[in-house]
Structure 1
Amino acid sequence: MAIGFATNHLVRHTAEGDPEALAHAIADAKTAMVVMAGDIPILLTGQPGSSLLPASMLERLPDHKEQVFLGIFAGQKVVATLASPETADLFRADPAFTVTDLRSIATQGLVRPEELGLLATTKSVLDWHSRHRFCANCGAPTSLAHAGFRRDCSACGTQHFPRTDPVVIMLIARDDKCLLGRQPRFAEKVYSCLAGFLEPGETIEDAVRRETFEEAGVHVGEVRYLASQPWPFPSSLMIGCIGEALSDEIVIDEAELQDARWFTRDDVRRMLDGTHEHYAAPNPIAIAHYLLREWMRS
């Protein structure tokens, strides 16, 4: 089972020793453009559609900001382009294009799975540029460098690189039951795995134990890694783990969770196949869905 955004056939580019890589890619008429209007992708409509737009697409944009040479995808150079949020409105009325948010693209299968990974890369790196136009060291403006995978400060010489925020997400099990929780923002009836950001100097295992105890009051012993998922909202890496609970009592942190409870294997089976009358599983694009299926196989 493919995890959403995790399939990516991009041969990533490094601009070391090639300062003109981005300029050469932009000048190549065969280069594909992946365009984000703010944080909204612009797709070619199809069954499925595609995020790979012709290079001539740039001529239709009223303006654009940063561009990044991502690398080679299916034998074609790919450049990510950040346009203004208002640009999306110019294409919504044109049936040749589909303009919607990345989460909807993933849940509705509007592009091939491998393009989801490409879109995740595009959204993350362009979002980083939009948030880091000034130096965190001295406050001066920064400029794009290394084909878009670095920003340089001419005032103090600091080099800034795109960041990824690691997040642990864990299926906590005890005997034949597992711990799931929900937040108010979740869709109706959905319960999911607990999750939280790693803190500085913390191991993955300790983050799983800390977050589970903080949110649900459950002590966790053994922790093992299972899988990971790029989560471009805006630029996280979900690190999926299985943890063994050492205690049963739940004490909910109401600032974090609306509810948390233990679910039996029969509960989870019916949640996954959509037949449970009270509860529902996370969407299949989410790594939490994958963790639940893997636990059911164990």
Structure 2
Amino acid sequence: MPGQPDLPDPAHADVDSMLSRKFGREVANYFSGSPLNRVSFLRADHGFISKAITHPSTSFLLLNDLAPLTSDPSHLAYANHDDVRKLIGNNPFEKTEQEMISAYNSSITLPLVLFLGLDETKKDGFEHGIYSGTPFFAIDVTPKGSVEKEAQSVIEEMKKRGLAFAEGRLNMTLNAPEAAIFAQARALTDWNARNPFCGGCGQPTLSINAGTKRVCPPTDIASLPTVQGGATTTEATPRQREACVTRKGISNLSFPRTDPTVIMAVVSHDGKRVLLGRQKRWPPHWYSTLAGFCEPAESVEEAVRREVWEESGVLLGRVVIHSTQPWPYPANLMIGAIGQALPDGEKIHLEHDPELEDAKWVEIDEIEEALRVGTSGLGEAAGSEYKEGGLRLPPATAIANQLLRAVVGGFLDAGETSKI
């Protein structure tokens, strides 16, 4: 079993600034810190995207049923253009977006191709104006629809090379930079797979903007049966699709969603204990910080207070944001916070929301010891110094771990420099 990967480096950690002196350096969590410049404004640039997809240096991350292609548990593996040509063709972006929409055919399965960004540290000859670097794309090679045979062929070829698609719910053994690349690719692939139909009219949608938008085309050239005058006919020319609300107003687009989620380390009013909870499905002695989804028209601070009260009955006063973590299962942004209980609000009761099996206040020194010897991924063994029956906590790749380290590290200490 590989060891836990390093976390991404904080941005500009070596640069002195007023904010870093006041609040400490930025905290970077696992799944963040991508080495790629997304250059998102170039996704709709037909000249750029067409040149990038066919360049000899371009790297393609393949996902089969959301599992990434890997060379080992710590490293992704990449295909080149020749490897995927049989699936995506020479240039899937040969047509402009408007031409793709006009030629839309709902009976043809187009492989999903996502532009992820440029690795500007690698100068392999690709240039577009002032931008240069190695282009990175992701391709959904899940066998399905009219390209099932081609996709299966690509998968088998990768397996012949000794590569593997890393299956499982979590891929948290990847090195930090590639974990961030995978997180972006997985979240976008999953979103496209979950949105094959328009939310406005229910008709099939088309992926555009290099995989980051979906459109409801006004016409369809598929040979689909339609009813005219009581008789079924097959149209050979593009037919007008049913009216759709997305074709009115500002835009005819559907964008990827990200669901904000709060996760919080809750300290007692005297700062000497931390509130932890556990779910029934977790292994024995395993606890973590509380978490929950933000609701519409609710601030992050309000969501933290509400979720803590609903799950544990504890009432919070001051709430501060610590750091955030992308969580691509399927598309969450974990907003890490630290909250402090009110002096008369520390009583625990689980009668509101039955989500937790247990919740308890834990002394700081017990948490500190558990962070030292009792962390691991779910289902994995703790450190060699762990004694059975001791507290178990999430690994460093989880933002819950980082929040608890901030608490035991003295973020509550008075002074000019914060340790958050």
Quote the Cα distance in structure 2 between the aligned partners of 1:29 and 1:80: 16
Mapped pair 1:191 → 2:257: no
Q: 1:186 to 1:262 in 2, by over 3 A?
A: same
**1:12 partner SS:** coil
Of residues 358, 369, 373, the one that matches 1:259 is 358
Deviations 1:86-120 (A, max 9, x none): 959747854631321376532x3xx3311111100
Distance in structure 1 (CA, Å) of the matches to 2:169 and 2:394: 13
- Deviation of 1:142 (Å): 1.1
Whether 2:373 is the aligned partner of 1:250: answer: no
User: Alignment partner of 2:75: what SS?
Assistant: coil
Q: How far has the Cα of 1:61 moved from its partner?
A: 6.1
1:14-163 paired onto structure 2 within 5 Å? 14=40, 15=42, 18-45=45-72, 48-59=74-85, 65-73=111-119, 74=121, 75-84=133-142, 90=156, 94=160, 96-101=162-167, 104-106=170-172, 108=173, 111-155=174-218, 156=244, 157=247, 158-163=252-257
Q: CA deviation at 1:52?
A: 3.3
The verdict on how the C-alpha distance between 1:104 and 1:133 changes in structure 2, with shifts beyond 3 A counting, is: closer
Q: Take 1:123 and 1:143, find their aligned partners in 2: how far apart are those partners?
A: 19
Q: What TM-score does the superposition give when structure 1 sets the normalisation length?
A: 0.90
1:7–1:180 distance in 2 versus 1, CA, 3 Å? same
Q: CA deviation at 1:296?
A: 0.5
Q: Is the 8 A contact 1:168 1:207 kept in 2?
A: yes
* 1:231-242 alignment runs, 5 A limit: 231-242=327-338
Q: Structure 1: which 5+ residue stretches go unaligned?
A: none
Contact 2:62 2:138 in 1 (8 A): yes
Measured in 2, the distance between the counterparts of 1:160 and 1:139 equals: 13
> Which residue of 272, 275, 287 corresponds with 2:399?
287
- Aligned match of 2:263: 169
Residues 225, 242 of structure 1: 8 Å contact kept:
yes
Summarize deviations over 1:126-153 as a string: whole Å, max 9, x none. 1111011111011111111112111111
The answer (yes or no) to whether the contact 1:43–1:53 under 8 Å persists in 2 is no
Distance of aligned partners of 1:136 and 1:262 in 2 relative to their CA distance in 1, 3 Å threshold: same
Separation of aligned partners in 2, 1:61 and 1:102 = 25
Tell me by how many angstroms 1:186 deviates. 2.5
1:61-106 Cα shifts (integer Å, max 9, x gaps): 6997211111102431011111116959747854631321376532
Kindly provide the amino acid, as one letter, of the partner of residue 370 in structure 2. M
Q: Distance in 1 between matches of 2:364 and 2:45?
A: 54
Query: Which shows bigger deviation, 88-97 or 209-218?
Result: 88-97
Tell me the CA shift for residue 268 of structure 1: 0.2
Spell out, residue by residue over 1:8-67, the C-alpha distance to the aligned partner (whole angstroms, 9 max, x if none). 121003236513544332222221001110111111348x52343333331576997211
Corresponding residue of 1:221: 317
Q: Is the 8 A contact 1:21 1:147 kept in 2?
A: no
Taking structure 2 as the reference length, the TM-score comes to 0.65
| Alpha-carbon distance change, 218 to 290 in structure 1, aligned in 2, over 3 angstroms | same
> Which residue, 261, 278, 284 being the options, matches 1:182?
278
- State the SS of the aligned residue for 1:80: strand
Residues 1:169 and 1:85: Cα distance change in structure 2 (over 3 Å): farther
Give the secondary structure class of the aligned counterpart of 2:83: helix
Q: Which has the higher contact order (CA 8 A, sep 6+)?
A: 1
Tell me, yes or no, if structure 1 residue 269 matches structure 2 residue 368: yes
Question: In the superposition, relative to structure 1, how do residues 19 and 188 fare at CA in structure 2: closer, same or farther (>3 Å)?
Answer: farther
Structure 1 outlier segments of 4+, above 4 Å: 59-64, 85-89, 91-95
Q: How many residues get paired? A: 294
Compare the two structures and name the one with the higher strand fraction.
1
Counterpart for residue 203 of structure 1: 299
CA distance in 2, matches of 1:203, 1:148: 30
User: How far, CA to CA, are the matches of 2:57 and 2:196 in structure 1?
Assistant: 30
- AA in 1 matched with 2:348: I
Paired with 2:308 and 2:302, the residues of 1 have a C-alpha distance of 10
Extract unaligned runs of 5+ from structure 2. 1-5, 8-28, 89-108, 122-132, 145-151, 219-243, 374-385, 411-420
What percentage of aligned pairs have identical amino acids? 33
Native 8 Å contact 2:69 2:78 kept in 1: no
Distance 1:218 1:141 in 2: 46
Matched position secondary structure for 1:225: strand
Q: 1:91/1:202 Cα in 2 relative to 1: closer, same or farther (>3 Å)?
A: farther
Deviation track 1:196-234 (CA, whole Å, cap 9, x = no partner) reads 010001000000000000000010110000000000001
Q: Deviations over 1:153-207 (max 9, x none)?
A: 1133231111111000000001200101011232432211100010001000000
